[in-house]
Structure 1
């Protein structure tokens, strides 16, 4: 086990069947996990995933967990070592929970499906006009002034994530979205992905409570067997209760990647193995400047491009 290598399960990036379907069919690690998942769920996940058009559907989420876990299986075996440290920003928490042994892979699949259905039900009636916008290259003080101006008008906003310097996720009402984008552009920044439904916002405390009482309380969540870093504050999760809290925090606390990378650096980690479809965390300046990055992703594996020790 290597304490200088950390495994990172990324948050959900674009991963439609067109993006990852070939990988799921040809890779033996993916086929094994897919068969296991279909047995647990009681239906053919690949078929359901193929037919699904919503990029955040239950089946897309389940496929993402399957692929991230299968890529971790491949990376561990081909590298010949097991990373001793783990983190899973945003949706990556789910695969991370299985990897560190706090939940079985089967229970992670069940939990993922149940939470996906609960979120879909919740956002059909609550916060229907809220979206989460990712913005980059925004100067700190002018952007803070813009948000303060929204507050002065009684306009809702929440910080949903801090990814890097000037790289943020912000939740606002959709009628304010064009104003937000215009302000970011005027500051010299860029607006990127708009997420519907929104994520990681303090306003979603009721969703967190339902996720706990209606779903998570039925699962036995154990203490991590590896060093696990909390994606909301960079702390080390040591107990089953700490793991439960981290999983629930994803509903109403912003992710903090700078805090996570700070802890990784303090622990002496110098290489990150990112296992999953990812077009964000491995490319952030804070990631690239501080670590050697090995990206183990479906497209690369399907094309035979996974080479241990290579950099993306």
Structure 2
């Protein structure tokens, strides 16, 4: 049986929640310094002053943070994972740990992707977004989506994080009404991002990224297998992982797909590096799970 290093998807995390780790821990110092070289500016300073809609800064910071936490965990606990994986944006960090992408190439891939995404979303006839919420069952979420579709609105399920945390993509004005329905059904809205996520409506964006961005990176075969969050397969070639990351743009993320993939691959324990202990929800009902957070590392 195998240890799985699993990188969670990006959630907005303010600098004050990670600042102590970022500025005092040697693993963080190394990852952030490497990012500075690629980005051409101080990522720590940019993160300190960023808003949650500064995609490049938040995504770069999240990549540096989670990889630093993974570095620390492997050193501190004296174990190396036999498998890795990631959910949503976390799949990019998994590609780095698997060896399919170098860290600098992953940062450059993200920066170029952000520029294409911003151009794509700004050119849409109507603003679109993705709303995250919790405390509703999957069946209730499906019922609400069908309710809005019956009214003529475009809406797609983007994320089923676990049995009660979900996200849907739709036009921004639709999401305002959807948030009210979430409250009426007893759910709790979390936050809305200014872009759609993981849905078929992003086919055009996926094609642009494939042509303009993903061909600019060098892809390698892996040193450890990477579990896909698209279909749960174990991926070992650079080309497979490149296509999987692209397919993630148009495929809803479902936690059950990941859990089934871990089981089929022989995983029996999971480490999750991330800024919040809420990520234990991904796997702690199915596997012994250790969340590797800044607090974990600073307290050691």
TM-score of the superposed pair, with normalisation by structure 2:
0.91
Alignment match of 2:89 (pick from 69, 79, 91): 91
Instruction: After TM superposition, give the deviation of residue 36 of structure 1 in Å.
Output: 1.8
C-alpha deviation, 1:197, in angstroms: 2.3
Question: In structure 2, what is the equivalent of residue 42 of structure 1?
Answer: 40
The corresponding residue for 1:240 is 238
Equivalent residue runs for 1:239-258 within 5 Å: 239-258=237-256
Given the alignment, which residue of 286, 290, 295 partners 2:286? Answer: 290
Instruction: Map 1:1-312 onto structure 2 (within 5 A).
Output: 3-126=1-124, 128-284=126-282, 287-301=283-297, 304-306=298-300
- Cα distance in 1 for partners of 2:140, 2:33 equals 51
Q: Say if 1:278 and 1:142 are closer, same or farther in 2 by CA, change over 3 A.
A: closer
- Partner residue of 1:309? none
Alignment partner of 1:169: what SS?
Answer: strand
**Which 5+ residue runs of structure 2 have no aligned equivalent?**
none
> 2-side partners of 1:140 and 1:199: how far apart?
18
Instruction: Give me the whole-angstrom Cα distance separating, in 2, the residues matched to 1:163 and 1:127.
Output: 29
Bigger shift: 271-280 or 48-57?
A: 48-57
Output the CA distance in 2 between the equivalents of 1:226 and 1:182: 44
- Tell me if structure 2 keeps the 8 A contact 1:12–1:278: no
Task: Give the drift of 1:142.
Answer: 4.7
For 2:18, what is the secondary structure of its paired residue?
helix
Output one character per residue of 1:172-203: Cα deviation in whole Å (capped at 9) or x when no partner. 22222243233333433333222222311211
- Equivalenced residues, count: 300
More displaced 10-residue stretch of structure 1: 164-173 or 198-207: 164-173
Q: Quick check: 160-169 or 241-250, which moved more? A: 160-169
CA RMSD between the two structures: 2.1
Cα deviation per residue 1:68-115 (whole Å; 9 max; x = unaligned)? 111111111111111111011011112111110001111011111111
More divergent stretch after superposition (250-259 vs 126-135)? 126-135
Return the alpha-carbon distance in structure 2 between the equivalents of residues 141 and 40 of structure 1: 44
Output the CA distance in 2 between the equivalents of 1:150 and 1:252. Answer: 20
Tell me: CA distance 1:175–1:72, structure 2 relative to 1, closer, same or farther (3 Å).
same
**TM-score, with length taken from structure 1:** 0.88
SS in structure 1 opposite 2:62? helix
